[in-house]
Amino acid sequence: MAAKENILERLRANIGERFEMPNIAINAIHYDNVVEKFAETCRTVSGADVVMGTPAEEDERGETSTVHGDIGVAENGCIWIPQREADRSFLFRSEHLNIIVKASDIVSNMHEAYARISESEEYFKDYKYGTFISGPSKTADIEGALVYGAQAARSVTVFIE
Amino acid sequence: MSTLHSKRAAEYQKNPDTVTHHDQTFYNVRAKRDRMAQALPEWEELRDMADRIKRHTISHLDTYLEKFEAAATTNGVHVHWAEDADEYNDIVYSILQQHGVKKVVKSKSMLTEECHLNRSLEEKGIEVIETDLGERILQMMKLAPSHIVMPALHVHKEDIRDCFKAQIAEYDEFRRCFYETQNKPIPEDENDADPTMLTFVARLHLRNQFMTADAGMTGCNFGIAETGDVVVCTNEGNADMSTSIPKLHIVSMGIEKLIPDYKAMGVFQRLLARCGTGQETTVYTSHFRGPKPGGEMHIVLVDNWRSRNIGNREHWQTLKCMRCGACMNTCPVYRRSAGYSYSYFIPGPIGINLGMLNDRLAHSGNVSACSLCMSCDNVCPVKVDLSHQIYLWRQQLDDFNCANPMKKAMSNGMATLFNHPQLYVNTLRLAPLANHVPHSLMHNCLNPWANGHEMMKFPKKSFHTLWKTIKEEK
Ligand code: SF4
């Protein structure tokens, strides 16, 4: 462990002025109709389809997979999906992903979303992974042309219950 | 004596269409970033907070690193420390060797570029597959990245098609499959280069790689000290594909990537994509906090040049950078000279500064690639004072014998002139004589400033003389 000691030693010797941690309080954007804004962002920013309601039946894992999201974020269409089963690869391997979110779980911005995650004891207990997903996989790597379905889901439908 | 950057940039200028296209492509990204900034009333508040959080974290890196290691270890992650690139490459190789790994799928990481990991592993017989589409294209074409966020935007789709055709054995089959899923007739012209089709071909090609790899490697956008999370942000989902199929996950992380907690994460998540690509968010913001069931997760913390520069009073703030790429997109010099003109693998304002911290003798030529317009300082989400630092590096060139002797002679001459008012006034009186200097004398190889510029015409009477006459007339 010489490397660790050497690195820490150099840091201790070299760090100059030590700055205080600021109090993180951002006067962040807030939407009165947070559900409507979330639906709009999912369509326009994330590039997902939005359905008010529940999917008819939960599809078999395969071409299409269905998953429950715990938090929806209106400012950017992100949906928090903690890992709940041993294999998470279906989230990325499926051609199409249905994500179900409760209207009461939609917040305005990422600060609120992260506050909820920190407060919850449930996440990272059984499986040590969680992700925010905002729409289908995208790329613009070939001459800047936006293409959906770079590697993971090619399309996403968000169901708001 | 011109720098390597200016020579390469001059070469790049020979194709004005390419330059204009490059310039506009990245200016559009800059314009998208502006729209993002204007849409959030709290934008400046966020930047200010990001700057202060980074100042705090970087200036407490010793304690945060220990905190992070402890949290990650509790989560069941193996944490390794590497002082330099060689040690890092050795650690990664030994982990792979212990698991009998033959093939690695890898999502984008600037740190692995910095340490030349791919080359080092390939020399030892391990196959490395880049999975970010842009990086994969460059890897197949044996090219280096030209930008840190959009690495292959300078490559033409026809060249990508030719490369795929030559190197992806199933190209024809994948192409046919694309048109079938789209319910479109297969074009008769086999040379179509539709980006959507090419992306689909790459998708199927990479899926085969994910399925057959023995290990996945990722970089790290943010390490959360309190909880031990590694946060990776991508649009394609390739970091998640790389790590949800193979059992082994290795994270490469520069020691400066730490932030304190989830509260801070909210600030950086909101800034990263808005600044980098002008999107509200990346498609995936993934938190890796431990191994998969039955799997293993390793984090390699890499120093390389970071701890020895943290005490540099003038330049330590470069360590705040979160590699969003905004400073490149806005930089007029980067946009018109492109990534390969710089000697360091990261170009643009941040690349100039990182190159100097890593190896100042090798990369001092880049400090000329700045017009001091300061646009980068104004877009940087963590307020790295990029142009000010480039200015300071220029002042220090002499200390390590890299100053340009001609510029230095001129600066000394100007200093004499400006410090002696009478000499200045006399010289000005003689200035119109310069109007008669023959064109060929100005436009020669000794005077690079004449390239693309015409000599100004000095008026017959200087402002000083006019001012005096007016005063006397009153
Ligand atoms: S210096 Fe600032 S603008 Fe440039 S890449 Fe780093 S964080 Fe982004």
Tell me: the pLDDT tens digits for B159-202?
999 999 999 999 999 999 999 999 999 998 889 999 999 999 99
Higher-pLDDT residue of A91, B459: A91
Contacts of B264 in chain A (CB under 8 A): 24
Q: Indicate the domain borders of chain A.
A: 26-160
Confidence of residue B50 (pLDDT cuts 50, 70, 90): very high
Is the CB of residue B327 below 6 angstroms from any atom belonging to ligand 1?
A: yes
Could you tell me which CATH number the domain at B5-25+318-396 has?
Answer: 1.10.1060.10
Among candidate residues B149, B133, B141, B143, the one with its CA nearest the CA of residue B198: B133
pLDDT at B439: 60
Token pair listed for B347 = 């170009």
Confidence of residue B288 (pLDDT cuts 50, 70, 90): very high
Every domain range in chain B assigned CATH 3.40.50.10420? 40-155+214-302
pLDDT at B280: 98
Confidence of residue B87 (pLDDT cuts 50, 70, 90): very high
In degrees to the nearest 10, what's the CA dihedral of B228, B233, B234, B240?
A: 20
Quick check: A129 and B289 CB within 8 A? yes
pLDDT at B468: 82
Higher-pLDDT residue of B450, B130: B130
pLDDT at B324: 97
Is the CB of residue B322 below 6 angstroms from any atom belonging to ligand 1?
A: yes
User: What is the overall mean pLDDT for chain A?
Assistant: 94
Is the CB of residue B382 below 6 angstroms from any atom belonging to ligand 1?
A: yes
> Quick one: how far is CA B285 from the chain centroid?
20
Residue nearest to atom 6 of ligand 1 (CA): B321
| pLDDT > 90 fraction of chain B, expressed in percent and rounded | 81
| pLDDT > 70 fraction of chain A, expressed in percent and rounded | 96
Confidence of residue B356 (pLDDT cuts 50, 70, 90): very high
Q: What is the mean pLDDT of residues B210-222?
A: 97
pLDDT at B239: 97
pLDDT at B449: 55
Tell me: the pLDDT tens digits for A59-77?
556 689 999 999 999 999 9
Interface probe with A: pick from B48, B178, B283, B288, most Cβ of A within 10 Å: B283
CB of B288 closer than 8 Å to CB of B220? no
Rounded CA separation B348/B371 (Å): 12
pLDDT at B406: 66
Q: Decide if domain A26-160 falls under CATH 3.40.50.180.
A: no
Among candidate residues B225, B382, B321, B52, the one with its CA nearest the CA of residue A23: B52
Higher-pLDDT residue of B445, B453: B453
Tell me: the pLDDT tens digits for A98-128?
999 999 999 999 999 999 999 998 999 999 9
> Does B37 contact chain A (CB < 8 Å)?
no
Query: Whole-prediction pTM value?
Result: 0.90
Token pair listed for B70 = 């402890």
pLDDT at B464: 77
CB of B278 closer than 8 Å to CB of B35? yes
Classify A112 in phi/psi space as left (phi over 0), alpha (psi -120 to 50) or beta: alpha
pLDDT at B260: 98
pLDDT at B460: 78
pLDDT at B467: 83
Strands A129-133 and A79-82: antiparallel
Every domain range in chain B assigned CATH 1.10.1060.10? 5-25+318-396
Confidence of residue B441 (pLDDT cuts 50, 70, 90): low
pLDDT at A107: 98
What CATH class has B40-155+214-302? alpha beta
